[in-house]
Structure formats: C-alpha cells, structure tokens
C-alpha cells in the first residue's frame, strides 16, 4: 500500500487518462493521451513528445497532464508500461506527487528485469533508469471480462484492489483498457499514417 491513498468511489464512467507512445521512427517520439469516461466514451485527446531513450518522459507527462483542461476530472493516469520512447522511464511516484493523480501501469506480460538491465547497460545513466523502473513497485495481475489471460499492473496512489477494478471497468472491447487501446491507435495513426499493432 502507498503512504498516500486516494479514496475512490468507482463509477462506470470514472474519468481515466490513458497514455501510449508511437513507433520509434525518430529522436522525438509522439505520446498521446486519450481521456475517457470509463471504457465507453472518449472526451479528449492530449499530445506531447518524449526523447527516444531519454530521461524526460516523467517531466513531459507531468506537464501534459497539469496543463490539460481535463486535469480536475482525471481520477487515474493509465500508462502502457513504465517506459516510453524506447527506454525513457516514467517515475510513477513523481508523476503522482506532481499531478496528485493516482497512476496505473499496465503490462501484457511480466517484465524480465534481467533482460531490461542488460538492454539498459548500453544507455547512459543505466543505473538511474533501472532505479526509476524498480520504483514502480509490486506487480499484481487481474483477469478482465471474457478473458482467461491475466494482464499485469503496478500502481501508485491507490490500492491494488481499486486499480484492478478500474482496469476491469475500462476493458470493454478487449483485455486492454480502452483509454490505452485508443491512445495507441491515435499515436500510431498520427505518426505512421495508419494505426497498427497492439497497445
């Protein structure tokens, strides 16, 4: 449990900001936020950029969220993994403390930290990057509607039980929450001309 917890009354139309990145085709990687009511209605789109394999993802996402007109309504920020633009890690503790919005990190598979550490060894400040990744904390799993395969998640600013419910509520079309699925479609569509791949 995190030291600071938000009290949640989870409604079907809880406001979630899902953030995903686009393909790694340049040094500046587009990230897109899809602002959703539950898993059914999109109410807004945010856009920013992070440096490929950089260390600015946390600051860029904080700025994107805090400058959004939707900020007062956002009940959770949902991330597709804890790194963006290659190996640009997001410090979810800092993201929470600087936005006051709880954070959920979603993963299709359990991360292989040994492989991650090896990949990071080729980048500058590899130890700093690994520390940020490990800060995301305990990994839990949840099974979403009509799907036997669990997804994995980390969170900060809320209980794991609450995060699991939010993931289930927002996974209306697949085992990936709609805010992330749609953010991925928009991000890849903008950059590649047509959306492709899975969130």
What CATH number does the domain containing 26 carry?
3.30.2170.10
Whether residue 9 lies inside any domain: the answer is no
Please write the tens of the pLDDT for every residue from 119-170. Answer: 999 999 999 999 999 999 999 999 987 667 899 999 999 999 999 999 999 9
pTM score: 0.93
76: pLDDT strictly greater than 70 = yes
3, part of any domain: no
Based on the structure, what is the number of domains in the chain?
1
| In-domain check, residue 104 | yes
> Shortest CA distance to 173 belongs to which of 41, 24, 30?
41
**Burial of 137: CB neighbours in 10 Å, binned 0-12, 13-18, 19+:** middle
* Predicted pLDDT at 7: 62
Average pLDDT over residues 41-63: 97
**Residue linked to tokens 């991000």:** 187
Is the pLDDT assigned to residue 194 strictly greater than 90?
no
Q: pLDDT tens across 82-101, in order?
A: 999 999 999 999 999 999 99
CA distances from 67 to 77, 80, 117, 121 (A): 14, 21, 33, 34
Q: What are the φ and ψ backbone dihedral angles of 190, each rounded to 5 degrees?
A: -60, -45
- Residue 122's domain comprises 15-191
Q: Which of 16, 8, 23 is nearest to 43 (CA)?
A: 16
Domain presence at residue 6: no
Query: Is position 112 within any domain?
Result: yes
């Amino acid at each position: 449990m995190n030291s600071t917890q938000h009290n949640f009354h989870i409604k079907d139309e809880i406001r979630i900001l899902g953030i995903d990145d686009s393909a790694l085709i340049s040094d500046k990687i587009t990230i897109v936020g899809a602002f959703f009511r539950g898993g059914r209605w999109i109410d807004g789109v945010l856009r920013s950029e992070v440096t490929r394999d950089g260390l600015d993802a946390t600051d860029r996402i904080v700025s994107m969220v805090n400058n959004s007109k939707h900020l007062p309504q956002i009940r959770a920020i949902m991330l597709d993994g804890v790194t963006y633009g290659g190996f640009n890690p997001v410090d979810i503790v800092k993201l929470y403390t600087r936005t006051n919005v709880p954070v959920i990190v979603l993963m299709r598979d359990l991360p292989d930290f040994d492989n991650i550490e090896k990949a990071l060894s080729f980048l500058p400040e590899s130890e700093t990057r690994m520390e940020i990744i490990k800060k995301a904390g305990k990994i839990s799993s949840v099974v979403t509607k009509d799907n036997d395969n669990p997804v994995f998640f980390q969170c900060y600013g809320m209980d794991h039980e609450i995060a699991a419910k939010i993931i289930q509520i927002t996974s209306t079309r697949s085992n990936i929450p709609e805010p992330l699925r749609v953010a991925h479609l928009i991000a890849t569509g903008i950059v590649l001309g047509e959306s492709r791949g899975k969130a």
